Structure 1
Amino acid sequence: MSVKQAELMMLFVTFSWSSSYLLMKIALTGVDPFTLMCLRFTIAFVCVLPLLLKTIKICSKRTVAKGLFLGFMVYASLIGTIVGLKHTTASTAAFLGTTAVVLVPIIEGVWQRKMPPMLTILSIALAFVGLVLFTVKDGLSLDIGALYCLWGAFGYAVYIVVVGRIANEKDMFPATLMQFGAIAIFSGLSAYIFETPHLPQTGMQWGAILGLAVICSAFCFVMQSIVQRYLSPSRTGLIFSMEPVFAAILAYFFLNEVMDGQGLIGALLIMIANVLKNIVYRIRYVNAQRKRKVWNRKRMV
């Protein structure tokens, strides 16, 4: 696969991710949040099960425990996003979801007890102003849906940091496949306790759930893991920054969602924050590559 083909495939993956907000909004008209999560990830787990069986030789009890832990983290963050979608627009949820990338350095800084670079601090400040514009409406009232989406973004940021710590472990791939099953289990238990589970009633609702499971979960996960081998982290992050833009366009055409002036300014600030964060990633990546070349040169001498 060439770099150009990888970029186009990653752009398609990003577009598919962005459609999840529209599909969740449609699915929520027929089923409750926990039931939706259970159906989505049960189907997704069945789709990736053949891949999991191929890696069964390197699995252990620790792999299963890791898959359950990762699944619970995604489950906890998705609660915020899905509940938020019941109270706010798909485009708002998408833009707030991308703040997870900006929240990562805050969590890493607290974890490592060190100050992030100034460019990262600037991106955090811009994202914070954008968040305020999204969550505070009409002067003082709070958008409860936006607050739930922010919960989801924070939870996913924690997940990114944790995965970054264990990404190089040899059983990481089967553990990440197992997390689909873990999410389905946690969601199924929650649906049984807090909801009255029932299946979708229309073809459109079933189509939305199948799209979420097969395309937005199983396909995107596998394809992203393949394509990222051919792209630098900074380029991948820059392509991913298009996700809320795609989501807003889809929401406009299919849900008739239009942002007001305050929302547009907030969205713009969050987009700028994401671009600045990707510039930081690019600088770090280039510096790491330069150090590696220098080290290899010295080793050859």
Structure 2
Amino acid sequence: MKSLKADLMILLVTMTWGSSYLFMKVGLETVSSFALVALRFGIAFLVCAAVFFKQFRSIHLVTLKYGFILGFLLFAVSALVILGLKTTSASHAGFLASLTVIFIPILSIVLFRDRLNYRLIISSLVAMTGIGLLTLNNQLTINSGDLLCALAALLYAFHIIVTGMAAKFANTLQLGILQLGFAGSFGVLFALIFEKPQLPSTQESWIAVLVLSIVCSAFGYIVQSIAQKYTTPTHTGLIFSLEPVFAALFAYLFMNELLPLKGYIGAILILTGVFLAEIKIKRTHRVNVLKKKVMKCTELSQ
């Protein structure tokens, strides 16, 4: 598979994830929050397990353990977004979710004592300014739904870091599918404890749930795992950062969601911060290559 084709597949996945905020909004019209999580990831797990059933003839305990941890984090992220969508817009949720890119290096500094660099400082300040413009109202208070979506972005950063750790010891395909099953199970458990579980009662809600499960989750995870083998992490990260753009586009086309002028300025600043955080890998790589070439030329001249 060529890199361009892989990038297009990643772009398609990004579009489906951008649309997920719209379908979560629609699903919430007749389905409770935790029940929606249970249906989304439960159906996605069944689809993925059916496609890759041969891979589940033997599962190592380490893979099962990490699948449980990642499943809980995935459940928490999805539940927070869904709860947040009750009081915020799909556009806001999409842009706030992109903050994961900013949170990952910050958590790496806190947890693993990684180096603090100027690009991270600048990208964080730009993104935080954007958040203020996007979410603060005239009374300088933030909507509770926006806070929940920002917290979801933080937890998803944890999810990505733990996934990176787990990939060193566990079967990654089994891990990706098992986390869907555990996330769905946690959804069932919380729905039974805190809600009165019910199935979608309208055709629109059923369509939303099935698209969330089969297209946004099962299809997305399967295609992502295939395509990422044939493209670079930098390309993947930059394409994924377009998710909030698609979220805002779908929200405008199908729900007539519009942001005020300061909201669009804030959204642009958030995306700018995300891009600054993403491109540092590529720039660093170029600098290192340049340094090596200079050192080589110096050695030859001597």
Same fold (TM over 0.5): yes
Structure 2 vs 1, CA of residues 158 and 290 (structure 1 numbering), >3 Å: closer, same or farther? farther
**CA-CA distance at 1:265 after TM superposition:** 1.5
User: What displacement does 1:220 show?
Assistant: 0.6
Match of 2:298 in 1: none
Q: Tell me what 2:79 maps to.
A: 79
2: CA distance, partners of 1:290 / 1:49: 46
1:146 partnered with 2:149: no
Question: For structure 2, which runs of at least 5 residues remain unmatched after alignment?
Answer: 294-302
Q: Match for residue 185 of structure 1?
A: 185
List per-residue Cα deviations over 1:84-136 (Å, max 9, x = no partner).
11110000000000001111000000012243221121111111112222332
* CA contact 2:97–2:152 (8 Å) conserved in 1: yes
Residue 172 of structure 2 corresponds to 172
Q: Per the alignment, do residues 104 and 194 of structure 1 end up closer, same or farther by CA in structure 2, a change over 3 Å counting?
A: same
Q: Would you say the 8 A contact 1:127–1:273 is kept in 2?
A: yes
Structure 2 match to 1:162 = 162
**1:282 and 2:282 matched:** yes
Shift of 1:281: 2.3
Q: Contact conserved, 1:52 with 1:178, CA < 8 A, in 2?
A: no
Is the partner of 1:141 in helix, strand or coil?
A: coil
Aligned length in residues = 293
Tell whether the 8 Å contact from 2:134 to 2:264 is kept in structure 1 after alignment.
Answer: no
Normalising by structure 1, we get a TM-score of: 0.92
Aligned to 2:16: 16
Q: 1:130 to 1:190 in 2, by over 3 A?
A: same
Q: 1:42 to 1:285 in 2, by over 3 A?
A: farther
1:29 is the counterpart of 2:56: no
1:233–1:282: 8 Å Cα contact kept in structure 2?
no
Aligned partner letter, 2:144: I
Partner of residue 129, structure 1: 129
Q: 1:72 to 1:62 in 2, by over 3 A?
A: same
- One-letter amino acid matched to 1:151: L
Residue number in structure 2 paired with 1:95 = 95
Structure 1 residue 213 displacement after superposition: 0.3
Provide the rounded CA distance (Å) in 1 between the counterparts of 2:74 and 2:269: 26
Q: How far, CA to CA, are the matches of 2:93 and 2:176 in structure 1?
A: 24
1:57–1:270 Cα change, 3 Å: same
* 1:259–1:193 distance in 2 versus 1, CA, 3 Å: same
* Residues 290 and 169 (structure 1), Cα distance of their counterparts in 2 relative to 1, 3 Å cut: farther
Structure 1, unaligned runs of 5 or more = 294-301
Quickly say closer, same or farther: Cα 1:56–1:74, change in 2 above 3 A.
same
Aligned letter for 2:133?
A: L
Q: CA deviation at 1:75?
A: 1.0
Q: Which runs of 4+ in 1 moved over 3 A?
A: 284-293
One-letter amino acid matched to 1:75: F
Q: Which residue of structure 2 lines up, in the alignment, with residue 115 of structure 1?
A: 115
Say if 1:233 and 1:281, in contact at 8 Å, map to a contact too.
no
Post-superposition shift, 1:53?
2.9
- How much identity, in percent, do the aligned residues show? 40
Partner of 1:192: helix, strand, or coil? helix
